[in-house]
A and B are shown apart, each in its own frame.
Chain A
Amino acid sequence: MLLSLNWLKDFITLELPVSELAHKLTMSGTEVDEIIEVGPEWDNVVTGEITDIAPHPNADKLRLTKVTTGEQTYSVVCGAPNIEVGQKIALACVGAELPGGLKIKKSKIRGELSEGMICSEIELEIGNDASGIMVLPPDTQIGLPIAQALQLNDTVLSLGVTPNRSDCFSVVGLAREISAVLDVPLQHSETTCTESGKSIDDVISVTIHDPDLCPRYTARFIDDITIAPSPLWMRRRLENSGIRSINNVVDITNYILLEWGQPLHAFDYRLIQDKAINVRRALHGETFVTLDDIERRPDTDVVMICDGKRAVALGGIMGGENSGISDTTTSVLLESAYFNPRSIGRSSNILKLKTESSERFKKGIDINGVIPALNRAASLVQQLAGGSIAEGIIDVYPSPLPSPDPIQISVEKTNKTIGISLSQNSIKDILGRLSITSEEIDADTIKAVPPTHRYDINAPIDLIEEVARINGYDAVPATNPYAKLTEIPVHTPFSLSNRLRDILTSCGLNEVVNYSFYAPDMIEALKLPESDDRAKPIHILNPLSASQSVMRTSIVPSLLANVRENIHNNCTNVKIFEISNTFLPNPEDKLPRETRRITGIITGLRFGELWNVEKQQADFYDVKGVVESLLHSLNITHYTCTCDSRELYLHPKNMLSLFIENTCIGCLGEVHPDVLEAFDIEQSAFVFDLDFELLSHYYVETPEYKPFSRQPAIYRDLALVVDDSVSSDTIYETIKKYKNKLLTEFHIFDSYQGKNIPAGKKSLAYRLKFQSDERTLTDNEVNKIHDKLLAFLGKEIGAELRN
């Protein structure tokens, strides 16, 4: 909302600097976004008089003029046809920068000196007349800045009015608010119309068929008018409020809308058929062309204004092209109505049409302000467009809305809620400033009745807020809340997510955050089978673009896209993870199933480029190692891995599914080359994707301490040769199966194939740790176990000792 202070001053006497007014408005809830000074754009444009005109020696259409500003005379070359000696004009002097951006410089035009420019309305952007220079009234004083001479100077406040304050979407409404904030009186009087001639009842009859949509419809008729441009003062006020001037009658409807917050509509009376206005719901399948020449399709809850034969306006939203004001209009029917706010809000949404009118009706206007606004408009039409106002007024108001209910508030409750201590009188005084009438019921109770323009006040808390606001939030001392201590859980999904972030960042992965939606082909690229829920993402009805139209069912595509973008930016070593929710269809419930995933990807060099470390490409074991570290950190030890080719987006062999108690908690592996290709990635990448809830379920927050042996341990290395087909896991499980309680730990430390190892065989070397809880072991007994183990491995999996 743009507020012209010149306009505001019609209703209130302002004695404080603009900056202070802006501060007080902001601090009382009407935020001032910007203070705009109107006037500087006409700096260096002054009033002057043409004292001499001579022909231009080198151009037929140009003339040489002398212009005096009183103190000084300028030579100005001018091409306008309408110049005459003695005219008072606007002279743009050297240094002026006109609103359109034109800079005035001293120059030679066809060889003749020109020290300025005599301006037209359009060059000054204060009117539409481009036919010649703007001629000022003969009594204009010369040598004055044009902004001063034409009273163009103004200050405009750009205001952020909150949606609850429908009453503040007008100059009068804001004047009322400012009068309350500053505690200064509001000056305004109601307009009375001078009526003559015909009776309105002979001109028009109005019927409201659906009073639920339109509770009140009023109208006046003005005959014998002349459509013309509006006077400068009105044009300036409209333009400064962000509305373009059209002609006097249309401007007046906009002027009243801005001044009173009451949207009006002006019909060209000649185009209204059968002397009738019918207010009714739109019919099934009805179409209507609005004055912007677009065909609209209202549904049956949209209110239509019709004449005897056809619709002439979308009630409260926009008029029709069949009945609007034109240059030839000679009589006008002015409508001032009240439409149901909910209905207008709904219609505006359905028709996808927001106008100054619909926005105001939707927020709610003052039903008692309908007639004063109509009278003010009619009398302005008479004043600016001539004509006569027909006798009488149409006011169809079938069932008057009840006046606002009184609200009782307690002084103590008010003070306790805010944290201040105002007396009953102070509270009543604040309410009075807001035109809320109040009376004392008892020492603690006030009965208050809000004015009809304050729709937002209908409960005690609304009044308490008004008291807090007008008294000032700054006046409330900051206190420490007193609140009871409560038990709160320490281990939550939030805290576990953070724990996982700690683990993964210490594994060298960077955290990323992607949008929860992406393009449908992102998920299609994963080659999921049709039966997979993830292949059926949830669609957004109104996405910003197709690339953000489905909710993520997997995080993997987002990370692949991140990898692609980073490679594109010459960063080829990427290790990232994301912990976010995915959204899966859920036929059993209205809401989808949201499951949190922990997903990561590794590609490029394992350690990056370091001077003292050989360049190594990251591989499968990097991603497996990250997952192992993660599970280890969560004290999850009892999981198993199987290469079951479960995820089609992974390499069918270089992948693993992880299980705990037969539940798959996630997968890891090399990204399938087809998928890499779909994402335009030309280097291998390795991902993991784990289910948060399952990890959270199996996670052991506090592991039990196991006493360790303080006896010396004996280590033995065991280098085995086995068939290629025997997996590391099989050997591992076989050693475990051997079950000797002195063999306490073992791990693989080498894997070798090549020279000295027969073809089709491989060598895996293990370090075994033997230790007793009670005593020192002897070499002999360890050797015995070692030999037996070797024999066992030979029998079970054909392992031989490497020599």
Chain B
Amino acid sequence: MKEELTTIRQTSLKEIEAVTSESELYQVKSRYLGRSGTITQIVKNLKNIPAEERSTIGKEANDLKKDLTAAIDNALQNIKQSKKLEHIEKPSIDVTLPGRKQLLGNKHPITLVTDQITQVFTTLGFEIVEGPEIELDFFNFEALNIPKDHPARDMHDTFYVTEEVMLRTHTSPVQIRTMQKTKPPLKIICPGKVYRCDSDVSHTPMFHQIEGLMVDTNITFGDLKGLLTIFIHTIFDENTALRFRPSFFPFTEPSAEVDIQCVMCRGAGCRVCSGTGWIEILGCGLVNPKVFANAGYNPDEITGLAFGLGVERTAMLKYGVNDIRLFFENDYRFLSQF
């Protein structure tokens, strides 16, 4: 019996040493230490061995079991280690090949800029409101203090559907519609498509506008300056200088046009700003009392500010796009850049 154990010890250890893979190792393990393994069987049959030999054989069998287990563990570690080494050292892939790119689409730059702008105002508590793109004369002109045959209508080259119905020339009608159904105070921002019969490098017959309206008591022209300064600094950067210039819009009074320091030349003067160092970015003013009256508000009790800007123009400045028509050609070479 004793000799048998010695032989088992020798062959098993040799076998373990010769093993090259994990699966082989497990086979060896099961041959000796498994449920019906050689050593397991010997231990099981100890009771059949004469009592005087039993303890010595038993001890030896247990020692063998322990040593074998240790040898197997050791061999396992070695195999794992060499496997890792092999994985690390084997010829590598060409990591300079391009990755398996996830094909994400892009939002249109008009959407991106619209989102940025509306976000500034929603953060300040403005509500986003939309309105119809085909409008009645009343909402697009009359209520905004632009009567028929008035020179101010010349500021808008209008597409007509009928004499009374037109493609809206600005998003201002949304202000009237909102005021008609909402009591003040009010803070709204109205993005959307607008239309004018005009087409060249800087004009397209359809473009996008964003207008804001804030109605409350005691809003001042200084507040308008403050609000729009926050806006410009958020959209461009906090070092962008801006100036308010008197202007004329029938629906606001006093009215202003806001110029920002040219984003291309930082005010030094360049082609983009026609050498002036300034770029017109938005129109604004305090709401004309006549507009409040037309919308059913009492002009003696409330005040308001309003502003509007062109999305394409802002996008052109932000991204350095030089031809507004690119926005509507939907060329992949353009779309894939945003």
Report the minimum CB–CB distance from B112 to chain A (whole Å). 9
A29 to B187, CA, bound (A): 28
Does A610 sit at the interface, judged by CB under 8 A? yes
Which one of A586-594, A707-715, A737-745 is at the interface? Answer: A586-594
**B220 in contact with A417 (CB, 8 Å):** yes
Does A294 sit at the interface, judged by CB under 8 A? no
Does B246 sit at the interface, judged by CB under 8 A? yes
CB 8 Å contact bits of B212-235 with A (1 = contact, 0 = none): 001010111111111101000000
Query: Using Cβ atoms and an 8 Å threshold, which residues of chain A touch B243?
Result: 27, 473-474
**A418 in contact with B222 (CB, 8 Å):** yes
**A345 in contact with B149 (CB, 8 Å):** yes
Does B186 sit at the interface, judged by CB under 8 A? yes
The closest CB in chain B to the CB of A594 belongs to: B132
Pick from A26, A542, A612: contact of B100, CB below 8 A: A612
Pick from B126, B160, B254: contact of A469, CB below 8 A: B254
Given contacts A473-B256, A511-B107, A516-B193, contact A542 B248 (CB under 8 A): no
| Contact-size category for B | 35 or more
The closest CB in chain B to the CB of A359 belongs to: B151
Query: Using Cβ atoms and an 8 Å threshold, which residues of chain B touch A540?
Result: 159-161, 167
Report the minimum CB–CB distance from B118 to chain A (whole Å). 7
Report the minimum CB–CB distance from A375 to chain B (whole Å). 28
| Contact-size category for A | 35 or more
Query: Using Cβ atoms and an 8 Å threshold, which residues of chain B touch A494?
Result: 118, 128, 130, 191
The closest CB in chain B to the CB of A484 belongs to: B185
Query: Using Cβ atoms and an 8 Å threshold, which residues of chain B touch A419?
Result: 220-223, 225
Query: Using Cβ atoms and an 8 Å threshold, which residues of chain A touch B305?
Result: 481
**B132 in contact with A509 (CB, 8 Å):** no
**B97 in contact with A611 (CB, 8 Å):** yes
CB 8 Å contact bits of A502-535 with B (1 = contact, 0 = none): 0011111111111111000000000000000000
Query: Using Cβ atoms and an 8 Å threshold, which residues of chain A touch B220?
Result: 416-419, 479, 481
Report the minimum CB–CB distance from A600 to chain B (whole Å). 10
Does B57 sit at the interface, judged by CB under 8 A? no
CB 8 Å contact bits of B251-282 with A (1 = contact, 0 = none): 00111110000000000000000100000000
CB 8 Å contact bits of A470-481 with B (1 = contact, 0 = none): 000110111111
Does B199 sit at the interface, judged by CB under 8 A? yes
A346 to B221, CA, bound (A): 35
A419 to B226, CA, bound (A): 11
The closest CB in chain A to the CB of B303 belongs to: A417
Pick from A162, A349, A544: contact of B247, CB below 8 A: A162
Report the minimum CB–CB distance from B220 to chain A (whole Å). 4
Does B333 sit at the interface, judged by CB under 8 A? yes
Query: Using Cβ atoms and an 8 Å threshold, which residues of chain A touch B274?
Result: 33-34
Pick from A464, A513, A607: contact of B328, CB below 8 A: A513
**A590 in contact with B164 (CB, 8 Å):** yes
Interface of chain B, main secondary structure: mixed
Query: Using Cβ atoms and an 8 Å threshold, which residues of chain B touch A473?
Result: 221, 225, 243-246, 254, 256
**B150 in contact with A345 (CB, 8 Å):** yes
A514 to B193, CA, bound (A): 11
Query: Using Cβ atoms and an 8 Å threshold, which residues of chain B touch A363?
Result: 151
CB 8 Å contact bits of B92-112 with A (1 = contact, 0 = none): 000001101101111110110
Interface residues of A in 370-422 (CB under 8 A from B): 416-420
A462 to B103, CA, bound (A): 57
Query: Using Cβ atoms and an 8 Å threshold, which residues of chain B touch A420?
Result: 222
Given contacts A162-B248, A462-B253, A476-B222, contact A511 B108 (CB under 8 A): yes
Which one of A110-118, A130-138, A571-579, A749-757 is at the interface? Answer: A571-579
Does A498 sit at the interface, judged by CB under 8 A? yes
The closest CB in chain A to the CB of B246 belongs to: A29
Does B56 sit at the interface, judged by CB under 8 A? no
**B151 in contact with A508 (CB, 8 Å):** no
Query: Using Cβ atoms and an 8 Å threshold, which residues of chain A touch B256?
Result: 473
Does B330 sit at the interface, judged by CB under 8 A? yes
CB 8 Å contact bits of B129-145 with A (1 = contact, 0 = none): 11011111000000000
Does B335 sit at the interface, judged by CB under 8 A? yes
Does B22 sit at the interface, judged by CB under 8 A? no
Pick from A464, A479, A541: contact of B222, CB below 8 A: A479
**A541 in contact with B331 (CB, 8 Å):** no
Does A539 sit at the interface, judged by CB under 8 A? yes
Interface residues of A in 186-231 (CB under 8 A from B): none
Query: Using Cβ atoms and an 8 Å threshold, which residues of chain A touch B130?
Result: 492-494
Interface pairs A-B: 6 shortest CB-CB: A419-B222, A29-B246, A162-B248, A419-B220, A481-B223, A505-B105
> What would be 14 A-B contacts, judged by CB atoms less than 8 Å apart?
A27-B245, A31-B247, A162-B247, A461-B289, A465-B246, A473-B243, A507-B105, A510-B336, A511-B106, A516-B167, A517-B206, A543-B197, A610-B101, A611-B98
**Other contacts beyond A31-B245, A591-B135, A592-B161: 20, CB < 8 A:** A163-B152, A164-B250, A165-B248, A420-B222, A468-B246, A480-B227, A481-B219, A481-B223, A488-B127, A488-B187, A501-B111, A508-B105, A510-B108, A510-B332, A540-B160, A542-B159, A551-B134, A575-B105, A583-B134, A613-B100
